[in-house]
Structure 1
Amino acid sequence: MESGSNRHIGDLLKERNIELVGADPVTRQGFTQVPNFILTKADISVGAKLAYAMLLKYAWGDDACFPGQATLATDMGSGERSVRRYLDELEKVKLLEVVQRGLGKTNLYRLFLTVQKPGSRGRR
């Protein structure tokens, strides 16, 4: 059996037969947990934090995500130029790696869920 840390919350909820009481159309769409170190990170903007949360939202179901920047912009209520700036911020602080998948395809986004130790050379 897999350890609990390697399993998705949706699988755990199904397994435990948890009933959501009082759920409405808004809450039935689910929730996204964002690590606290992201929420309190002083060297990135609020927009970059929201972009990180949106990428987490997309990735939780599949362990990967590749939304287009237009999709991100629409879902965030932002412009595509702002989205690019937020993604650049996340790359600079090594919370995100953007992998280009080819002409006409959306990028693959790799989110890092751990804090890099000072002096470490990288995560790759």
Structure 2
Amino acid sequence: MDAQNIGQILRDRNIILKGGDVITNGGGFTQVPNFILVSKKVSVGAKLTYAMLLKYAWQNDHCFPGQETLADDMGTGKRSVVRWIKELEDANFLKIKRRGLGKSNLYELNLTARKRPN
């Protein structure tokens, strides 16, 4: 089988990538595990919150953005972010370590898919 470049592979697909280099043109990208994207346990807002936490975490294996920062980056209110973080915590997609008054929380993201019970 001949090696194909990404352009050849995508030629017959229904998704087109425009703009060339996604890393340099848009400030990078964030990979989100598929088990999060397809989960019925959490809302779309919670999935976006998880993706935003991953955006911060890829830099050094942990993240601790303030909820105000998350809300601002996501274009939403802090109350929504708090609700979505609670959803993720209840679904065991993240664990929160509270670091004290006036300090941001430390978020531990679960990147391991769990098998569904039979």
Using structure 2 for the length normalisation, give the TM-score: 0.76
Give the conservation status (yes or no) of the 8 Å contact 2:62–2:107: yes
How many residues align? The count is: 99
Using structure 1 for the length normalisation, give the TM-score: 0.73
1:91 aligns with 2:79: no
CA shift at 1:23, angstroms?
3.8
CA shift at 1:24, angstroms?
7.5
1:78 aligns with 2:76: yes
- The residue that corresponds to 1:101 in the other structure is 99
Which amino acid in the other structure matches residue 101 of structure 2? L
- The residue that corresponds to 1:111 in the other structure is 109
- The residue that corresponds to 1:64 in the other structure is 62
Give the conservation status (yes or no) of the 8 Å contact 2:93–2:110: yes
Structure 2 residue ranges without an equivalent (≥5): 1-18
Structure 1 residue ranges without an equivalent (≥5): 1-20, 120-124
**Higher Cα Rg, which structure:** 2
Q: Percent identity?
A: 60
Change beyond 3 A, Cα 1:41–1:102: same
Change beyond 3 A, Cα 1:93–1:101: same
Rounded to whole Å, the distance in 2 between the matches of 1:36 and 1:116 is 12
- Which residue, out of 14, 29, 36, partners 2:27? 29
Rounded to whole Å, the distance in 1 between the matches of 2:113 and 2:23 is 35
Q: Mean alpha-carbon deviation: is it higher for 24-33 or for 42-51? A: 24-33
Change beyond 3 A, Cα 1:62–1:25: closer
